[in-house]
Amino acid sequence: MNTSQISRRDNFKFSMLLNDKRYRSYTFQFLALLILIFIMAYLGKNLLENLASAGLNISYSFLGEASGYDINQRLIEYNSQSTHLRAAFVGVLNTLLVAFLGCIMATVFGVTAGILRLSNNWIVAKLMMIYVEIFRNVPVLIWILIIHSVFLTILPQPKAFRGENPEASMLWDAVAFTGRGIYLPKPIFYDGSAVVIATFILSIIGVFAFRFYARQKLYSAGQLIETRWTSLAIFFIPTILVYFIMGNPIGLEYPELKGFNFKGGIYARGSLISLWFALSIYTGAFIAEVVRAGIQSVNQGQTEAASALGLRSNLVMNLVVLPQALRVIVPPLISFYLNITKNSSLALAVGYMDVTGTLGGITLNQTGRAIEAVLLLMLFYLVISLSISAIMNVYNRSIMLKER
Partner 1 sequence: MSNNSNSFVRHEMLEERAPPVGEGGVLKWVRENLFSSVFNTIMTIIAVWVIYSITVGVAPWFLNGVWNAETTRECYEILDGVNGACFAVLQERFPQLIYGFKYPSTEYWRPNWATILLLVALAPVLFRRLPKRLLVFTVIYPFLAYWLIWGGSVLIPTVAFIGCCVGGVCYKRFSSGAFATAIILSLISAYLCWFLGGYLISWNEAFLSLKVVPSRDMGGFMLNLLLGTIAVSLSIPLGIALALGRQSNMPIIKWICVVFIEFIRGVPLITLLFVANVILAFFFPPETSIDLILRVIIMMTFFNSAYIAEVVRGGLAALPSGQYEAANSLGLDYSQSMRFIILPQALKISIPGIVNVSVGMLKDTTLVSIISMFDLVGMIRGPILSSTDWNGVYWELFGAAAAIFFVVCFTVSKYSQWLERQLETGKH
Q: Where are the alpha helices (DSSP H) in 247-310?
A: 270-297, 300-308
In the complex with partner 1, the residue whose CB is nearer, 195 or 388, is: 388
Cβ atoms 325, 298 nearer than 8 A:
yes
In the complex with partner 1, the residue whose CB is nearer, 176 or 333, is: 333
DSSP code at position 83? B
In the complex with partner 1, the residue whose CB is nearer, 140 or 291, is: 140
Name the minimum Å distance from CB 259 to partner 1: 26
In the complex with partner 1, the residue whose CB is nearer, 127 or 207, is: 127
Question: How far is Cα 94 from Cα 100, in angstroms, rounded to an integer?
Answer: 10
Name the minimum Å distance from CB 361 to partner 1: 9
Cβ atoms 107, 329 nearer than 8 A:
no
Name the minimum Å distance from CB 131 to partner 1: 10
Name the minimum Å distance from CB 377 to partner 1: 5
In the complex with partner 1, the residue whose CB is nearer, 150 or 198, is: 150
Question: How far is Cα 257 from Cα 162, in angstroms, rounded to an integer?
Answer: 8
Q: Comparing C-alpha atoms, which of 279, 272, 274 is closest to residue 109?
A: 279
In the complex with partner 1, the residue whose CB is nearer, 79 or 121, is: 121
Name the minimum Å distance from CB 53 to partner 1: 6
Name the minimum Å distance from CB 223 to partner 1: 34
By CB atoms closer than 10 A (0-12, 13-18, 19+), residue 286 is: buried
Name the minimum Å distance from CB 383 to partner 1: 8
Q: How far is CA 209 from the centre of its chain?
A: 30
Is the sign of the CA dihedral 104, 105, 106, 112 positive or negative? Answer: positive
In the complex with partner 1, the residue whose CB is nearer, 196 or 350, is: 350
Binding positions for partner 1, rule: CB under 8 A = 18-19, 25, 28-29, 32-33, 36, 43, 46-47, 49-51, 53, 116, 119-124, 127, 133-134, 136-143, 145-146, 149, 153, 342-343, 345-346, 348-349, 356, 360, 364, 370-371, 374, 377-378, 381-382, 384-386
Q: Comparing C-alpha atoms, which of 328, 237, 340, 324 is closest to residue 279?
A: 340
Residues forming a β-bridge with 176 = 183
Question: How far is Cα 6 from Cα 95, in angstroms, rounded to an integer?
Answer: 66
Question: How far is Cα 310 from Cα 394, in angstroms, rounded to an integer?
Answer: 35
